[in-house]
Amino acid sequence: MVKSSSDYVKAVEGGIQPTQAIETKIYKRRWLVLIIFVLYSASNAMQWIQYSIITDLVVKYYDVSSFSVDMTSMIYMITYIPFIFPASYFLDKFGLRWAAILGALGTCAGSWIKVFSVSPDRFWVSFVGQTTVALSQTFILSVPARLAAVWFGPDQVSSACSIGVFGNQLGIAIGFLFPPMLVTSSEDINVIGQGLQLMFYIVAAVTSVILGLILLFFKDQPPLPPSPAQAVQREVDSQESFFSSIKRLATNTGYLLLLLSYAINVGIFYAISTLLNQIILKHFPGHGMDAGRIGLTIVCAGMLGSVVCGVVLDKTHKFKETTLGVYVFSFLGMILFSFTLDLQKIVVVYVTAGLLGFFMTGYLPVGFEFAAELTYPEPEGTAAGLLNAMVQVFGIAFTTFYGYLIGVWGDYWANIALCAILFVGALLTYIIPNDLRRQNAKF
C-alpha cells in the first residue's frame, strides 16, 4: 500500500495503478446514517430563509428595516467564512459523529432561543437564535461528500452525495413553503406574532427529535472501508495534518478554478433566494404566498436535478462534462428567468424558476463530486468546506450587489448582470483540467 498522500498522487498522476489487497465491505446501516443526515441538514437549512421569505411581515411585526431581515439570511454566509476552518479541522480530527452532534446541538439551541423572541421589541433575540443556528451549519454543508465516500461503494458514492445535498435543499424548500402558510398577513401584529410563535415551536420540536436520533443512531464510519480508495484515504487522514491538506489544495490549479466557478453559481442562487420575496412582490403585489411557492418550485426542481445528476455521474463518470453541461444550462435558465418576469404572468415565472432551480441547485452535488475527483486523496470534508466558504463570500457580495442594482437600475438589469457573471463562471468551468484522480485510483 502507498504510505503517503504525496506518493499516492504521484503514482496516480504517473499512470501507475496501485494494487491493494484490502478487505472492504458495504454495510446496510449506511442508509440509516444517510437518512438521519438528510433530516439533520434539512432542520438547519429550513431556518436560513424563514424570515426573508416573509420579509414584509417581519418588518411590520418587529418594526425593523428590510435590510435587517436580509441579514437573518446573510448571517449564514457571514458566520460560515471564519468558522469553516475550525469546523473542518474538528470534522477531520474527531469524525462525522461528533461533528454531527455539535451541529445538531447548536441547531436545536438556536431554535429554542427563537421561541422566546416573539415580542415586537425582541428582534435581537431572534437574531441571536438565528446566528446560533447559522454557526451550526459549518458542521453540515461540507459533510455530504465525506459521508458518501466513508459509507458508500464506488457505484453509489455520487448518488449518495446528491442525496446528502438533497437534505439541504429539502430544508430550503420547507423554509420557502411553510413560513408564508404559518405566518399570515394581518393588520393586527398580534396575529403575526401568533404565527411566528407557532412556527418557532414547530421548528424547535423538530430539531429536538433530530438531535435525539443523532445521539442514538448516527455513527462515524463503518468498521471496514467500502472501497480500496477509501482504505487509502483513511491512512492518509491518519498521517497527514489538516494544514498540509489546505496547502496542497491551495496549489491545485483545477480545484482553484472550480472554487471560483462553483462560488459564482451557488452565490448567485443565494442572492436570488434571499431577495425573491422582494422581486415577486414588485412584479406581483400581494402575492407573498406565491413568492414562497416559487422558491419552493426552485428548490424542488433542484432536488430532482441533484438526484438526476448524481445518477448520471455514477453511471457515466463524466465529471467535467456533467459539471460544464449543468453550468451552461444554469446560465440559460437565468436568461430565461430574467426575460420573462415582465410578462406579468405568474405561471410563466413558476415554469422559468423551476428550470433555473433544476440546473442551478442541481449543480451543488456535481461540484462536490468534481472537487473530490480533482483533490483525491485529500479529505472530502476539507475540499467541500473550502468550496462552501468561497460560496459564502460570493453569496454576501452577490446579495449586496444584487440588492443595490435592483434599487438603482431595477431587477431587469440586475438579472442581466447576474447572467454575465454566470457566463464567466461557465468559461472558468470549461478550462478546468479533466484530472479525475479518484477514478484513476481504480475506485
What DSSP string runs through 320-340? HHHHHHHHHHHHHHHHHHHHH
The DSSP 8-state label assigned to residue 65 in this structure reads -
- Give the model's pLDDT for residue 329: 92
Q: How confident is the model at residue 427 (pLDDT cuts 50, 70, 90)?
A: very high
Residue 242 has pLDDT above 70, yes or no: no
- Give the model's pLDDT for residue 442: 53
- Give the model's pLDDT for residue 128: 95
- Give the model's pLDDT for residue 175: 87
CATH of 242-442, one of 1.10.3720.10, 1.20.1250.20, 1.10.1060.10, 3.40.50.620: 1.20.1250.20
- Give the model's pLDDT for residue 3: 45
Q: What percent of the chain has pLDDT over 70?
A: 90
**d(Cα 261, Cα 254) in Å, to the nearest integer?**
11
- Give the model's pLDDT for residue 16: 46
The domain spans of the chain are: 26-226, 242-442
Residue 240 has pLDDT above 70, yes or no: no
Q: Which residues of 221-231 are buried (b: 16+ CB within 10 A; e: fewer)?
A: bbeebbbbbbb
In the predicted model, what is the mean pLDDT of residues 13-22?
Answer: 50
Q: How confident is the model at residue 287 (pLDDT cuts 50, 70, 90)?
A: confident
Q: How confident is the model at residue 1 (pLDDT cuts 50, 70, 90)?
A: very low
Other CB atoms within a 10 A radius of the CB of residue 237 amount to: 20
Q: Which of 97-101, 160-164, 204-208, 229-233 has the lowest mean pLDDT?
A: 229-233
The label of the residue with cell 468534481 reads: 370
Residues making up the chain, counted from first to last: 443
In the predicted model, what is the mean pLDDT of residues 26-49?
Answer: 91
Q: Helical H runs in 183-252?
A: 189-217, 228-239, 242-250
Q: How confident is the model at residue 33 (pLDDT cuts 50, 70, 90)?
A: very high
User: Is residue 152 helix, strand or coil?
Assistant: coil
In the predicted model, what is the mean pLDDT of residues 174-182?
Answer: 87
- Give the model's pLDDT for residue 243: 73
**26-226 and 242-442 share one fold:** yes
pTM of the predicted model as reported, rounded to 2 decimal places: 0.72
Q: How confident is the model at residue 117 (pLDDT cuts 50, 70, 90)?
A: very high
Q: What percent of the chain has pLDDT over 90?
A: 31
- Which set of grid coordinates corresponds to residue 97? 459523529
In the predicted model, what is the mean pLDDT of residues 393-415?
Answer: 88
Tens digits of per-residue pLDDT, 52-91? 888 889 999 999 998 899 899 889 888 888 888 888 788 8
The label of the residue with cell 411581515 reads: 57
Residue 167 has pLDDT above 70, yes or no: yes
- Give the model's pLDDT for residue 81: 82
Q: Which of 255-259, 392-396, 423-427 has the lowest mean pLDDT?
A: 392-396
- Give the model's pLDDT for residue 419: 93
- Give the model's pLDDT for residue 13: 47
Name the residue among 43, 213, 207, 232 with its Cα closest to residue 140. Answer: 43
Mean pLDDT over each residue of the chain, to the nearest integer: 84
- Which set of grid coordinates corresponds to residue 325? 453541461
Give the range with max mean pLDDT: 160-174, 190-204, 224-238: 190-204
CATH number of 26-226: 1.20.1250.20
Residue 332 has pLDDT above 50, yes or no: yes
- Give the model's pLDDT for residue 232: 65
